[in-house]
Amino acid sequence: MSTQIRASIVEKIGAPFTYTDLLIDDPGPGEILVRIVAGGVCHTDANTRGGDMPLPLPGVLGHEGAGVVEAVGPGVTSPRVGDHVVLGWPYCGECKNCLEGEPRYCLSIGPALVAGVRFTGEQAGTSAYRRLDGSPVSGHFFGQSSFATHSLALARQAVVIPDDIPLEIAGPLACGIATGAGAVLNTVRPRVGESIVVYGAGAVGLSAVMAATNTPATTIIAVDMHDSRLELAKRYGATHVFNAGATPDVVAAIHELLGGTADYAIDCTGVIPVVEQTIETVGMLGTAILIGGAPAEAAFTADHFRTLFGKRIVGTLGGSGRSERLIPALLELWRQGRFPFDELVQTFDFEDIEGALEASHRGDVIKPVVRMPEPAAG
């Protein structure tokens, strides 16, 4: 059996987001059908449309979905029909890394994110999405393909949230917001008096700044090209900011401010020269953390001798940790007024994904979110 849905399709690399009706399978064992209420729009979607991630096209993108569970497959006891959920990252639950509590680093993470088909279970290798004429379409992007009115996902990737949380703000907790905050809370874990430098003050970087204010770090530095975003960084807890376009040597300026190298530096841009600045910002026993998405096969260089003296270069995916722990924690910090990520969100109509991306690229919007049309009555 199947359900007719409305979805956004990218037909080929570089093509615009277009809209069409599709059929989606009913949930099988371990799966759930979620009516998407809203979904974040992320640069990863734009990069994938541009060919930087190998999702087979045509396909349905979107990976920051939030909505209401409409049906569950055999064997699913949680979530239940009617639950409000955020769709986190997919994982197999059976590999070494999953069993050791690191599902972000599931050994099947590649196919789980971008194969365009189910990567596990009885129907592995098949897509649940097809056109009305029966021709298949890639789905299951990050396990969800949430640029659609409905998503078929694994039950294990859904995080149940309270019904009073606005679903319009909840979706970005699946990836962008959690990526920045989790990099600080799960990977950095700063000690008393330490310093953190955040390169890039978009949604990910500002989330990192917000998270850093909930730690014992006493120096939080934000670097960006836009003064408006640096003002936001100060509003959300940055103790110092640098405009990279107006500062001849940002790394030297940070070292002068600190009287030495930083304890931690986080790249949220994926821009290779900035990645290399991030690495140079930390020194002996310092840690450079890479979370921005560079194009596929991009490479950076680091000075071997200076790295040899205890410098660490660490990559982190999606904020590391487990969605079912991180997302509720961030929501509780939000309730307490300590993590005001909702102020970054601006909503767009579902059929204006292009407008959402353009507004984000211009810097007019920090975190665009598209709202799905209301379901038909009856």
Output the average pLDDT for the chain: 95
The pLDDT confidence band at residue 376, using thresholds 50, 70 and 90, is: low
Instruction: Give the number of other Cβ atoms within 10 Å of residue 196's Cβ.
Output: 28
**The token pair that represents 97 in the structure block:** 């890394």
Q: Which residue has the tokens 């953190």?
A: 196
Q: What is the pLDDT of residue 297?
A: 82
At residue 220, does pLDDT exceed 90?
yes
Q: What is the pLDDT of residue 361?
A: 86
Rg (CA), the chain: 20
Q: What is the pLDDT of residues 244-266, one digit of tens each?
A: 999 999 999 999 999 999 999 99
Q: What is the pLDDT of residue 377?
A: 55
At residue 43, does pLDDT exceed 80?
yes
Percent of the chain having pLDDT more than 90? 89
Mean pLDDT of the 164-193 span: 95
**Helix H segments across the chain?**
43-49, 96-99, 109-114, 167-170, 176-182, 203-212, 227-235, 250-258, 272-281, 304-308, 323-335, 353-362
Phi-psi region at 176: left, alpha or beta (left = phi > 0; alpha = psi -120 to 50): alpha
- φ and ψ of 315, to 5 deg: -95, 150
Q: What are the residues whose beta carbons fall under 8 Å from the beta carbon of 75, sequence distance 6 or more?
A: 29, 30
Q: What is the pLDDT of residue 111?
A: 94
| Kind and range of the H or E run holding 88 | none
The pLDDT confidence band at residue 237, using thresholds 50, 70 and 90, is: very high
Q: What are the residues whose beta carbons fall under 8 Å from the beta carbon of 199, sequence distance 6 or more?
A: 205, 223, 224, 265, 266, 267, 268, 269, 274, 277, 278, 281
How many residues does the structure list for the chain? 378
At residue 318, does pLDDT exceed 70?
yes
